[in-house]
Structure 1
Amino acid sequence: MTDLTVHLTQNDVVRGLRSDVLTGLTATRKTLPPKWFYDARGSELFEEITRLEEYYPTRAEREVLADRADEIAALTGARTLVELGSGSSEKTRLLLDALRDKGTLDEIVALDVSDAALESSVAILREAYAPATVHGVVGDFTQHLALLPGGAPRMVVFLGGTIGNLLPAERAKFLSALRDNLRAGEWLLLGTDLVKDRDTLVRAYDDARGVTAEFNRNVLHVLNRELGADFDVAAFEHVAVWDEQEERIEMRLRATRAMRVRIPGVDLEVDFADGEELRTEVSSKFRPARVAAELGDAGFELTKWWTDRLSRFGVTLAQATGA
């Protein structure tokens, strides 16, 4: 049995885009959230990024899951796997296979903002993991955690280092909301990219072929198409900066000339100075103590911590503590 539950409609998405553009482009330091990269073209570009030599996180995280999936299945005994931001669910299938082999897998819940991506992945999961029930939930993990289905014990899977795209206050709010919607004893499996040398980090976000640059500029194509904006996309250059103090990569778009941009969809005109930067993503990198502290503050207890063989990427298994 398969179902698709929609908590986020296209109208909701457009309203969210308008709100973020109005807030971010009128701020003293212009910003946009990274979720607006991911139209169909942006998703294709990101999949290409994950295959680049410089972009180690996907390979490193997959290595950990391949090595530890059986252990994770045995420790959790999860009957429901909930994946936040599921996309293609490719890495998660290592966990699903292990849970199925242990005989505990009853339900799969995949949450994503894209109904088209979910329809495809849900159909694939249904065929691969029958007779497990597969639920597709169209929603935003920052808004719809309380609406996720699934029987206990659940394991929520949040991979790819995506939590690093949230600022510290946003992470605290998200993790606390997630804990509030889990029963004591249920599980979180979290992927976090780790602090390492600056050159490795910057190369991962500024590859030699320019794929990440095209991905970054794609957000301007989204604004042009969805809001009727007149960004001259070629007039912005991609910048990746390592912030040593905050321990995060920032992706920015730098205006190569002074310009005024009109955005009719929000009745806005925005001036960019020559060299002015628009921040499009933060990607925080973590140390083990920071992961444990943030989880503990939210009501989780760290149970297991693993890294790949080169200690580039961390995967944490944590359990919701009692009320």
Structure 2
Amino acid sequence: MDKPVIEDKTLYREALAGLQGSPKTLQSKWFYDRTGSDLFEQITTLPEYYPTRTETAILREQAGALAAYVQPGAALVELGSGASTKTRILLDHFDRLSAYVPVDISGDFLQQTAQGLARDYPQFQIIPVEGDFMGEVSLPAALGGVPKLAFFPGSTLGNLDPDAATDLLARVRRWDTISAFIIGIDLVKDTDMLIAAYDDAAGVTAAFNLNILKRLNRDIGADFDLAQFVHAARWNAAESRIEMHLVSKIAQTVMIGGQQIRFAEGESIHTENCRKYTADSFRAMAAKAGWQLDSFHTDKGRLFGVCALVP
């Protein structure tokens, strides 16, 4: 048998550690290869997936108010920028900006998006940074001393456990000349509505979840049979979060780089958390990281919140 090809040693190391644990886990950041990024953009347009359209409506309605947080010549730094779709709403209103800095782990997708933004917004410097916002983000030296406004939409903060979310807020708080942080959070609401948003009728979220196994097969020589795993979305009331899992249909053994990973029937890989907040719970967490909740914008149904933090 040929030795499996391991294209990504970091992915191999982190995936193996998660899959050898109990319970089995994979970090959600590995969803976003090119296919995963494309699938997520599809998810954002699904009828069940309220967060994107609701946050977008809030940003459109409140863009003028949020522009007050832009200092002259500031750089807008977005964490996990993806297709930068919602960012365009801010760029259309934040005329005092000098630069937009999209930060994303998916390098090819990032470069393609940056090229389109540079074409459409020639008045701003577009400075893409390939990186993982779960660690220290190395901003370009040219931004030293430039006022910075951070942007983190899409309720992505909810993917992190409370300690990791607080750490991320604290890291951004330590950026030099950081003036404010605009962040989207999903709010606690009806459980059936939450479950439907993460288990859509068309199966796009299921394909997005399963694609992480396809990536392991391609990039680290795993041999997952995707037909033997099924997507599941579960509400964890104690932790106030939706959980995404990949559940093994049968007892089976998967090989990863020569290592055996055994699954019992019904055993799952926990791939993502999507925590839901209240204004009070978010305010308390932000305060631990050195931020004050300066403004809180929501929709009429109180489905979603866009918050502005200041140091």
Do the structures match in fold with TM over 0.5? yes
> Which segment is superposed worse, 86-95 or 69-78?
69-78
Give matches, 1:44-55, under 5 Å: 44-55=38-49
What TM-score comes out, normalization by structure 1 length? 0.90
Secondary structure of 1:147's partner? coil
Cα offset for 1:23? 1.2
SS at match of 1:77: coil
The residue number in structure 2 matching 1:211 is 204
Distance in 1, matches of 2:148 and 2:139, equals 14
In structure 2, distance between residues paired with 1:274 and 1:288: 40
Q: Give structure 1 stretches of 5+ with no counterpart.
A: 1-12
What percent of counterpart residues are identical? Answer: 42
Contact 2:151 2:182 in 1 (8 A): yes
Gap runs ≥5 in structure 2:
1-6
Summarize deviations over 1:29-56 as a string: whole Å, max 9, x none.
0000111112221112111111110000
> Does the residue aligned with 2:270 lie in a helix, a strand or coil?
strand
Aligned residue for 2:100, secondary structure, equals strand
Alignment match of 2:166 (pick from 168, 172, 175): 172
243, 247, 266: which is aligned to 1:254? 247
The answer for the alignment partner of 1:28 in structure 2 is 22
Contact 1:77/1:99 (8 A) holds in 2: no
| 1:131-146 superposed matches below 5 A | 131-146=123-138
Provide the secondary structure at the position in 2 that maps to 1:286: coil
Could you tell me how far 1:124 is from its partner in structure 2? 1.8
Q: Deviations over 1:104-134 (max 9, x none)?
A: 1211111111221222222222222223222
Q: Give the corresponding residue for 2:182.
A: 189
Structure 1 residue 146 displacement after superposition: 4.5
CA distance in 1, matches of 2:67, 2:214: 42
Q: Equivalent residue for 2:213?
A: 220
* Counterpart residue number, 1:283: 274
Secondary structure of the 1:90 match is: coil
The whole-number CA distance in structure 1 between the counterparts of 2:137 and 2:172 is 6
Please tell me the root mean square deviation across aligned C-alpha atoms, in Å: 1.5
Q: Note if contact 1:193-1:312 (Cα within 8 Å) is conserved in structure 2.
A: yes
Instruction: Tell whether the 8 Å contact from 2:70 to 2:97 is kept in structure 1 after alignment.
Output: no
Alignment pair present for 1:89 and 2:81: no
How far apart are 1:309 and its partner, in Å? 2.3
Letter in 2 for 1:133: Q
Matched to 1:252, the amino acid is H
Describe the superposition over 1:111-163 as per-residue Cα deviations: whole angstroms up to 9, x where unpaired: 11122122222222222222322211111112232535535321100010111
Q: What residue is the counterpart of 1:274 in the other structure?
A: 265
Q: Distance in 2 between matches of 1:214 and 1:127?
A: 32
Residue 100 of structure 2 corresponds to residue 80 of structure 1: no
TM-aligned CA distance change 1:145 to 1:253, over 3 Å: same
Q: Name the structure 1 match of 2:51.
A: 57
Ranges of 4+ aligned residues in structure 1 off by more than 6 Å: none
SS for the counterpart of 1:234 is helix
Alignment coverage as a number of residue pairs:
302
1:239 deviation in Å?
A: 0.7
Give me the TM-score of the superposition, normalised by structure 2. Answer: 0.93
* Aligned partner (choices 85, 99, 121) of residue 107 of structure 1: 99
Q: 1:236 aligns with which of 218, 229, 246?
A: 229
Structure 2 residue 111 is the aligned partner of structure 1 residue 119: yes
